[in-house]
């Protein structure tokens, strides 16, 4: 037979109610249906299988089959993944889809097999926004002096320094407490993370800065992938394409609800004017230019052509 | 040879003390900087975690040599000498197998992660996973020596499984004998 | 069946006298073989990444702080202060011991560290005043186990990380139960001491009290720094631990001048070694805990306790009984690490507040440190006060029973934990 009994351990880091969780369950359903129940996907939310480094390692070793970390996790292995998290490269959801599903996003996935991983596509995590406990942030000037926890990523750190904030290093696990005790004033994350980690309990102000479009990259162990028959590989790929479409739909449907929930929980939500976003883009430009010189020239070239293409969308 | 080994473990002890000091400086420094100057040491979180991991695995080597790991030896102590010796040898063999697994497992992790870099420091994750290799090899050698001495009868029956260097016998006798749930030489303050 | 493989391999290797850290790894190997997913990298990935945790860095910092407090004269001054406060009442030294235990508990994260300090200082004092030595050693032992319940606490840190529960909330929720343990001891001691005829100390003048207070002031400030720091925004629990270590280092060297720089290397080596021993255990437990997650043992166990799920109080009592039994034979850290992944799914399924459960669980594990046959705190007190295990077991039992009664009351009246915790702003 072309399809064997197999169990796929699918680990991710946010909790089961998040859009990523919905996407994983949809994928599991479709795979089960298409394989006549022979391929089983078991989900392990909330970092049950270990932290990002551990799960990445486990994929390479073949002790875990699938994972969906944020794409910055891969920067350590393929630094060009850092390009996806440059500030203000996409400003709308169609632009984001076009970048990830187009030649650039796919060319990044092709760098992965050499590292022992197969990239199957991107789930949506959503635009990252700044929240804080001090004051409404409607523009660049309001960011001045905020103690903010950002992702441990040199591009992020330099950008937020240029925005005149004080980025402080802190693990995600310590973040809630640090915000609660006001050891840190601010943080930046996509809405689903803000909702599921209950940052609204300890942060008063949400500003829709949308400075980065965050995604979760779907990874499979190459060792496992190579064991699969052509039929099985086809089932997985097709199921994933469907699951991605579904996941992004859910994520977008939940967006409005997420904002309402946060409002109901007592958060003040402030829009950030396009002119302010443009200012921030200008400030971050020299920083991103500097980082681009360290990346593979071909990839950067493709990145720039693609950016031009998607600006027109 | 034995002086060389002593020097190696002395060196390990110096290292773990320095690592602990480094952790204190990095983490406290970060609190102070954040509170006083609204800033922080970006590598502090990551680097202190790495020092912590190395401290744990190097310290565990030392603890293995000094029989400081937590355990329950009430049952084994009540066995007749031959059974006790067989039991200790079997346990040491099983532990040797575990350290073998840790050594090859960590070595593979080092290879997998050699060209993966940590986000803050830019250091190869290979250095992080090497802690397991150093731990596995060192502990494995300690265990192999102990096993040899158990089988060859170099250790008298009453001190089986409590292999100590002779100059440390003083500490051995100062530990209460009854209901002892850990081996002599355990640092007095366990994690409770 | 998986449950049998898990418990059989773990208990089997422990019975052979294998260090528990290694027994957990053997158990991991057995589970891998049974589940047919044997791979050395599963061990190393979980072992090394399990050690790689920022919150758990509270462990070495508290270890270090404990060493410094004992060597640097902080513990001594607290005893002196408590002596001036309650030394003169009947059976006064007993109350001094209990008060000191509570004060020291709010500085230190480890029962064993406290047992060493209190045993060395107070057992000789009580014996000299005419108290029964076994009873004195018993009281000191029972007092020491308040340390993991009153914040700060290494036990809460390890449970918080293993069970995914907020460490700050656990700390704040532990305050009142910790004090209740002290109250329980006072009642037990009062029942005992009213029949006893011992020398009473003279009542101290207010001036003497003030002098002792001034002398101990720097040490006594520490709990306030911790609680205010956590509550009103200076640091996270891990950072609180490093603040405690640095602060006590400052007080011991600069203010009291009892600790010389040349004493420090030995202190650091000892703390680092103890940390390594405890943390290897933690990391090894994460290997078996990963395999438990993957094998779905927890669903099997939930099925097992299904009939109790709708009766939270009975379920809690059953779980507490299990912890008491495990606690007779196991040290605190292994009990936490082995039982947390097994019990937490049940707790969540039954809708029990994880913070409340955590407080009861840690209190129970702490009491396990003074239950025979294996009690690390009893061993330490025997060691520092030169009596036998039989004697100290005889001496400790009324106090152990008092603490079990406190635990039982907390099971029956959850509000005793959750009420004050909410009031303190924990949640
Ligand atoms: Na404490
Ligand atoms: Na016990």
Of C55, C234, C26, nearest to C153 by C-alpha is: C55
- Give the per-residue pLDDT at C62: 86
Report CA-CA distances (Å) from C229 to A204, B176, C426.
Answer: 21, 40, 13
Q: Domain residue spans in chain C?
A: 55-276+304-425
Residues of A in contact with B44 (CB under 8 A): 169
CA angle A49, A54, A60 (to 5 degrees): 105
- Listed by number, the residues of chain B in 136-175 with a beta carbon closer than 8 Å to a beta carbon of chain A are none
Quick check: A147 contacting B, CB < 8 Å?
A: yes
CB nearest B72 (choices: C14, C243, C383):
C14
- Give the per-residue pLDDT at C421: 79
Q: Which of A15, A177, A196 to mutate to test the interface with C (most CBs of C within 10 A)?
A: A177
Quick check: C233 contacting A, CB < 8 Å?
A: yes
What is the least distance, in Å, from the CA of B123 to any CA of chain C? Answer: 15
- Give the per-residue pLDDT at B162: 39
- Return residues with CB closer than 5 A to ligand 2 (ion): C 328, 368, 371, 374-375
Quick check: B160 contacting C, CB < 8 Å?
A: no
| Token pair for C72 | 């640097």
Give the tens place of pLDDT for each residue, C333-373.
888 988 888 888 889 888 999 999 999 999 999 999 999 87
Q: Which chains touch C (3 or more CB pairs under 8 A)?
A: A, B
Q: Which residue has the tokens 């020291």?
A: C104
Residues of A in contact with B115 (CB under 8 A): 77
What is the least distance, in Å, from the CA of A30 to any CA of chain C? Answer: 22
Give the tens place of pLDDT for each residue, C64-104.
988 898 888 888 888 888 888 887 888 888 898 999 899 88
Give the tens place of pLDDT for each residue, C371-411.
987 788 888 888 788 888 889 999 999 999 999 999 999 99
The answer to whether B191 contacts C25, with C-beta atoms less than 8 Å apart, is no
Ligand that comes closest to the CA of residue C102? 1
**Measured distance CA(A84)–CA(B180) in Å, rounded:** 58
DSSP element (H, E) containing C220? helix C206-231
Report CA-CA distances (Å) from A143 to A146, A166, A259, B42, C212.
Answer: 6, 9, 21, 19, 50
**Measured distance CA(A154)–CA(C108) in Å, rounded:** 38
| Token pair for C155 | 């036990």
Search chain B and give the residue with CA nearest C273.
B59
Give one DSSP letter per residue of C33-79, joined into a string. HHHT---HHHHHHHHHHHH--SGGGHHHHHHHHHHHHHHTTHHHHHH
What is the least distance, in Å, from the CA of C38 to any CA of chain A? Answer: 9
- In this prediction the ipTM stands at 0.89
The answer to whether C63 contacts B62, with C-beta atoms less than 8 Å apart, is no
Give the tens place of pLDDT for each residue, C223-263.
888 777 776 667 788 888 899 899 999 999 999 999 999 99
CA torsion A162-A168-A172-A178 (nearest 10°) is: -130
Q: Which residue has the higher pLDDT, B58 or C381?
A: B58
Instruction: Work out the average pLDDT over A34-49.
Output: 92
The answer to whether B72 contacts C376, with C-beta atoms less than 8 Å apart, is no
- Listed by number, the residues of chain C in 380-419 with a beta carbon closer than 8 Å to a beta carbon of chain A are none
Say which residues have a Cβ less than 8 Å from residue A136's Cβ, sequence separation at least 6. Answer: A142, A205, A207, A268, A270
Q: Which residue has the tokens 């200008």?
A: A282
- When pLDDT is cut at 50, 70 and 90, the band that residue B15 belongs to is very high
Q: Which residue has the tokens 């709308």?
A: A92
The answer to whether B120 contacts A77, with C-beta atoms less than 8 Å apart, is no
Residue B183 in this model has a pLDDT that exceeds 80: no
Search chain B and give the residue with CA nearest A153.
B119
**Measured distance CA(C133)–CA(C116) in Å, rounded:** 16
Q: Where are the alpha helices (DSSP H) in C296-425?
A: 297-305, 312-329, 332-349, 354-368, 376-385, 389-412, 415-423
Search chain C and give the residue with CA nearest B187.
C274
Q: Which residue has the tokens 């009984």?
A: C321
Residue C373, preceding peptide bond in cis (omega within 30° of 0):
yes
Q: Domain residue spans in chain B?
A: 2-173
- When pLDDT is cut at 50, 70 and 90, the band that residue C198 belongs to is low
CA angle A55, C295, A244 (to 5 degrees): 50
**Measured distance CA(C282)–CA(C49) in Å, rounded:** 11
CB nearest A61 (choices: C41, C231, C294):
C41
Q: How far is the CA of C378 from the centre of ligand 2 (A)?
A: 9
The answer to whether B188 contacts C54, with C-beta atoms less than 8 Å apart, is no
- Give the per-residue pLDDT at A309: 95
The answer to whether A76 contacts B120, with C-beta atoms less than 8 Å apart, is no
- Give the per-residue pLDDT at B161: 57
Search chain C and give the residue with CA nearest B131.
C48
Give the tens place of pLDDT for each residue, A295-312.
999 999 999 999 999 998
- Give the per-residue pLDDT at B182: 35
Residues of B in contact with A171 (CB under 8 A): 45
Residues of chain A above pLDDT 70, percent: 99
Quick check: B111 contacting A, CB < 8 Å?
A: no
- Give the per-residue pLDDT at B186: 33
Q: How far is the CA of A158 from the centre of ligand 2 (A)?
A: 53
Q: Which of A155, A164, A168 to mutate to test the interface with B (most CBs of B within 10 A)?
A: A168
Contact C316, C360 (CB under 8 A): yes
Ligand that comes closest to the CA of residue C145? 1
Of C320, C411, C299, C413, nearest to C367 by C-alpha is: C320
- Per-chain mean pLDDT for chain C: 88
Of A206, A197, A310, A300, nearest to A259 by C-alpha is: A206
Ligand that comes closest to the CA of residue C103? 1
Residue B152 in this model has a pLDDT that exceeds 80: yes
- When pLDDT is cut at 50, 70 and 90, the band that residue B127 belongs to is very high
Looking at residue C205, the DSSP 8-state letter turns out to be P
Contact A78, A108 (CB under 8 A): yes
Residue C425 in this model has a pLDDT that exceeds 70: no
**Measured distance CA(A296)–CA(A192) in Å, rounded:** 33
Quick check: A286 contacting B, CB < 8 Å?
A: no
Q: Which chains touch A (3 or more CB pairs under 8 A)?
A: B, C
The answer to whether B38 contacts A53, with C-beta atoms less than 8 Å apart, is no
Of A74, A71, A23, nearest to A45 by C-alpha is: A23
The answer to whether A61 contacts B112, with C-beta atoms less than 8 Å apart, is yes
CB nearest C168 (choices: A44, A63, A177):
A177
**Measured distance CA(B110)–CA(B131) in Å, rounded:** 9
Of C342, C285, C48, nearest to C158 by C-alpha is: C285
Burial of A138 (0-12, 13-18, 19+ CB in 10 A): middle
Residues of C in contact with A7 (CB under 8 A): none
Q: Which residue has the tokens 């197969």?
A: A118
Quick check: A222 contacting B, CB < 8 Å?
A: no
Report CA-CA distances (Å) from C11 to B67, B96, C8, C300, C367.
Answer: 20, 19, 5, 20, 21
- Say which range, A70-74, C24-28, C416-420, has the weakest mean pLDDT: C416-420
Give one DSSP letter per residue of chain A, joined into a string. -----EEEEEE-SS-TTSHHHHHHHHHHHHHHHHTTT-EEEEEE-TTTT--HHHHHHHHHHTSS-EE--BGGGGGGT-GGGGGGG-TTS--SHHHHHHHHHSHHHHHHHHTSGGGTEEEEEEEEEEEEEEEESS----SHHHHTT-EEE--S-HHHHHHHHHTT-EEE---HHHHHHHHHTTSS-EEEEEHHHHHHTTGGGT--EEEEEEEEEEEEEEEEEHHHHHHS-HHHHHHHHHHHHHHHHHHHHHHHHHHHHHHHHHHHTT-EEEE--HHHHHHHHHHHHHHHHHHHTTS-HHHHHHHHHHHHHHHT-
Q: Which of A40, A44, A50 to mutate to test the interface with C (most CBs of C within 10 A)?
A: A50
Q: How far is the CA of C37 from the centre of ligand 2 (A)?
A: 35
- Give the per-residue pLDDT at B178: 31
CA torsion A39-A45-A49-A54 (nearest 10°) is: 110
Give the tens place of pLDDT for each residue, C156-181.
988 988 888 888 889 889 999 999 99
Q: At what angle do helices C74-86 and C111-128 cross, to 10 degrees?
A: 50
Give the tens place of pLDDT for each residue, A118-143.
999 999 999 999 999 999 999 999 99
Contact A29, A242 (CB under 8 A): no
The answer to whether B98 contacts C26, with C-beta atoms less than 8 Å apart, is yes
Q: How far is the CA of B170 from the centre of ligand 2 (A)?
A: 27
Quick check: B75 contacting C, CB < 8 Å?
A: yes
- Per-chain mean pLDDT for chain B: 82
Q: How far is the CA of C271 from the centre of ligand 2 (A)?
A: 23
pTM here? 0.89
Report CA-CA distances (Å) from C137 to A188, A254, A263, B23, C383.
Answer: 54, 61, 58, 36, 11
Give the tens place of pLDDT for each residue, B154-182.
888 777 753 332 222 223 233 333 333 33
Give one DSSP letter per residue of C133-198, joined into a string. HHHHHHHHHHHHTTTTTSSS-HHHHHHHHHHT--HHHHHHHHHHHHHHHHHHHHHHHHHHHTT---
Instruction: Work out the average pLDDT over A233-248.
Output: 97
Give the tens place of pLDDT for each residue, A72-84.
899 999 999 999 9
- Give the per-residue pLDDT at B174: 33
The answer to whether B120 contacts A169, with C-beta atoms less than 8 Å apart, is yes
Contact A57, A223 (CB under 8 A): no
């Amino acid at each position: 037979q072309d399809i064997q009994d197999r169990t796929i351990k699918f680990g991710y880091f946010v909790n089961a109610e998040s859009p990523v969780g919905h996407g994983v369950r949809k994928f599991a359903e479709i795979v089960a249906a298409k394989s006549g129940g022979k391929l089983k996907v078991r989900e392990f939310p909330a970092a049950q299988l270990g932290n990002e480094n551990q799960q990445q390692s486990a994929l390479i070793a073949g002790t875990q089959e699938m994972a969906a970390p944020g794409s910055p996790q891969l920067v350590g292995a393929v630094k060009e993944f850092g390009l996806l998290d440059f500030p203000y490269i996409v400003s709308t959801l169609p632009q984001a889809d076009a970048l990830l599903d187009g030649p650039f996003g796919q060319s990044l996935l092709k760098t992965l097999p050499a590292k022992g991983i197969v990239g199957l596509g991107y789930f949506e995590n959503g635009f990252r926004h700044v929240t804080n406990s001090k004051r409404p942030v409607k523009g660049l000037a309001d960011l001045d002096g905020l103690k903010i926890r950002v992702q441990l990523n040199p591009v992020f750190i330099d950008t937020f320094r240029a925005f005149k904030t004080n980025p402080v290093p802190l693990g995600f696990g310590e973040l809630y407490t640090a915000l609660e005790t006001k050891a840190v004033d601010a943080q930046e994350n996509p809405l689903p993370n803000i909702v599921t980690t209950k940052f609204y309990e300890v942060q008063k102000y949400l500003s829709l800065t949308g400075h980065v479009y965050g995604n979760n990259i779907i990874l499979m162990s190459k060792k496992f992938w190579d064991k699969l028959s052509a039929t099985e590989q086809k089932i997985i790929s097709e199921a994933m394409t469907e699951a991605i479409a579904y996941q992004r739909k859910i994520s977008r449907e939940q967006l409005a609800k997420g904002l309402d929930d946060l409002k109901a929980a007592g958060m003040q939500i402030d829009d950030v004017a396009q002119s302010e976003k443009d200012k921030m883009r200008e400030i971050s430009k020299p920083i991103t230019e500097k980082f681009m010189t360290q990346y593979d020239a071909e990839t950067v070239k493709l990145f720039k052509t693609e950016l031009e293409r998607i600006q027109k969308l | 040879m034995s002086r060389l080994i002593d020097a190696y473990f002395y060196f390990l002890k110096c290292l773990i003390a320095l690592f602990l000091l480094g952790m204190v400086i990095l983490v406290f420094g970060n609190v102070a900087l954040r509170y006083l100057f609204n800033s922080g040491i970006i590598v502090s979180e990551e680097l202190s975690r790495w020092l912590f991991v190395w401290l744990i695995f190097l310290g565990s080597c030392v603890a293995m040599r000094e029989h400081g790991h937590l355990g329950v030896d009430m049952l084994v102590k009540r066995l007749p000498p031959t059974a006790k010796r067989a039991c200790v040898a079997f346990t040491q063999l099983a532990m040797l197998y575990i350290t073998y697994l840790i050594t090859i497992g960590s070595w593979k992790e080092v290879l997998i992660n050699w060209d993966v870099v940590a986000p803050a420091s830019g250091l190869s994750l290979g250095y992080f996973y090497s802690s397991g290799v150093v731990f596995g090899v060192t502990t494995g050698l300690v265990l192999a020596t102990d096993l040899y001495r158990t089988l060859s009868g170099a250790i008298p029956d009453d001190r089986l499984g409590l292999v100590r260097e002779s100059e440390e016998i003083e500490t051995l006798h100062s530990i209460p004998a009854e209901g002892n749930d850990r081996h002599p030489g355990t640092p007095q303050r366990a994690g409770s | 069946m998986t449950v049998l493989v898990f418990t059989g391999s773990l208990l089997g290797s422990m019975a052979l006298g294998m260090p528990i850290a290694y027994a957990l790894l053997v158990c991991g190997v057995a589970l891998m073989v049974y589940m047919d997913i044997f791979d050395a990298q599963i061990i190393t990935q979980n072992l090394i990444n399990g050690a790689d945790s920022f919150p758990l860095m509270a462990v070495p910092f508290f270890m270090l702080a404990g060493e410094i407090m004992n060597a640097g004269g902080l513990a001594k001054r607290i005893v002196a202060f408590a002596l001036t406060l309650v030394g003169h009442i009947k059976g006064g030294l007993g109350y001094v011991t209990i008060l000191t235990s509570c004060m020291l508990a709010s500085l230190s994260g480890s029962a064993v560290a406290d047992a060493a300090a209190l045993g060395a200082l107070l057992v000789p004092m009580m014996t000299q005043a005419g108290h029964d030595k076994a009873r004195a050693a018993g009281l000191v032992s029972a007092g020491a186990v308040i340390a993991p319940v009153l914040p700060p606490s290494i036990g809460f840190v390890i449970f918080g990380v293993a069970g995914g529960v907020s460490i700050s909330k656990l700390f704040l929720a532990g305050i009142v139960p910790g004090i209740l343990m002290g109250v329980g001891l006072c009642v037990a001691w009062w029942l005992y001491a009213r029949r006893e005829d011992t020398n009473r100390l003279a009542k101290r003048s207010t001036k003497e009290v003030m002098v002792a207070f001034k002398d101990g002031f720097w040490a006594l400030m520490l709990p306030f720094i911790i609680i205010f720091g956590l509550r009103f925004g200076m640091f996270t629990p891990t950072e609180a631990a490093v603040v405690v270590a640095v602060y006590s280092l400052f007080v011991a060297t600069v203010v009291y001048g009892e600790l010389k720089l040349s004493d420090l290397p030995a202190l650091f080596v000892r703390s680092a070694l103890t940390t390594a021993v405890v943390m290897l255990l933690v990391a090894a437990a994460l290997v078996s805990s990963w395999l438990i997650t993957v094998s779905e043992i927890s669903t099997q166990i939930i099925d097992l306790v299904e009939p109790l799920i709708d009766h939270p109080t009975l379920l809690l009592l059953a779980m507490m009984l299990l912890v008491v039994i495990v606690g007779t034979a196991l040290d605190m850290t292994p009990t936490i690490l082995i039982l947390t992944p097994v019990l937490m799914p049940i707790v969540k399924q039954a809708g029990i507040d994880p913070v409340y459960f955590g407080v009861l669980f840690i209190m129970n594990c702490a009491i396990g440190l003074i239950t025979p046959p294996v009690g690390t705190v009893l061993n330490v007190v025997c060691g520092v006060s030169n009596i036998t295990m039989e004697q100290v077991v005889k001496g400790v039992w009324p106090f152990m029973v008092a603490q079990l009664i406190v635990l039982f009351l907390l099971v029956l009246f959850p509000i005793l934990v959750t009420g004050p915790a909410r009031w303190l702003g924990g949640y």
